[in-house]
Amino acid sequence: MNIVLLGSNGRLGSLIHNQLNAENIPTFALAKEILATKKDFQNFFSNLPENAIILDVSLPTGTEHLIEQVKQLNSEIKNKLKGIVIGTTGHTNAQQEKIKDLSKEIPICLVSNFSKGVFLFDQILNAKTSNGMTVCELAHSLGFDLALNEIHHTQKKDAPSGTAVSLANTANLPLERISSTRVGNVIGEHTLYFSQDSEMLEIKHSAHSRKLFALGAIQICKNIIAKSPNAGLLAKEEFFT
């Protein structure tokens, strides 16, 4: 496996880069300067070995430039790419359409959070209960009021977080039921509240180390290489395990 890493200078990107080096996984850092011109981009990818996968942990604009440049690669170079994993959130509708269009040629996996705990959180909400409803459907039918709160460090740019939006979609919650707090150096906390007049239930996930995101991102890349999926937008649920 060979990983092309976009966003290696960022907080998560640097952790991923260090972990890849620790695991002796060949890594090619894709600098933003290479994204700037078609010629430099094509030269960069023409020298890549086989079984390469792109891991994007940059910004929405970085994702957009990446998608536009990959779209212009010739078929021989595109065939080297086994997939693209995008861990960036906050894309505009137009950017999402570009991602969807490229996925017709290359497998693309959108992952709002690389945490296995958040993945499990989402699976719990979507689990079927004894009467056939999901946990959240049953909660709504029992009259519980649902709301989601997310807390992150002050440097996080998007609010609500991509993870909060994803969890809200699973819980069938409108975005106005999400509250966001930016304080200190909090890595990430997501809490879903189920409230009635006389009782309260909470499901909460807290990240204690950013390394878990690096490990999760690399594992998803490994699983995509191993499973070699066809082109399309990949369901992240299939590649956490």
Outline where DSSP puts E strands in the chain. Answer: 2-6, 27-30, 52-56, 81-86, 107-110, 145-152, 178-182, 189-196, 199-206, 232-234
Q: How far is CA 193 from CA 129, 148, 164, in A?
A: 18, 6, 13
What CA–CA distance (Å, rounded) separates 104 from 226?
Answer: 20
pLDDT digits (tens, 9 = 90+) for 159-193: 999 999 999 999 999 999 999 999 999 999 999 99
Q: Is the pLDDT of residue 220 over 90?
A: yes
Cβ within 8 Å of residue 187, ≥6 positions away: 152, 153, 206, 207, 208, 209, 210
The pLDDT of residue 3 is 95
- Kindly report whether the global pTM for this prediction surpasses the value 0.75: yes
Q: What's the CATH superfamily of 2-114+211-238? A: NAD(P)-binding Rossmann-like Domain (3.40.50.720)
Does the annotation mark 222 as catalytic? no
What CA–CA distance (Å, rounded) separates 16 from 9?
Answer: 10
pLDDT confidence tier of residue 43, bands split at 50, 70 and 90: confident
Cβ within 8 Å of residue 96, ≥6 positions away: none
Write down the catalytic residue from 17, 65, 82, 152. Answer: 152
Write down the catalytic residue from 17, 156, 205, 236. Answer: 156
Sketch the domain layout of the chain as residue ranges. 2-114+211-238, 116-206
pLDDT digits (tens, 9 = 90+) for 48-85: 888 899 999 999 999 999 999 999 988 888 888 999 99
Q: What's the CATH superfamily of 116-206? A: Dihydrodipicolinate Reductase; domain 2 (3.30.360.10)
Does the annotation mark 104 as catalytic? no
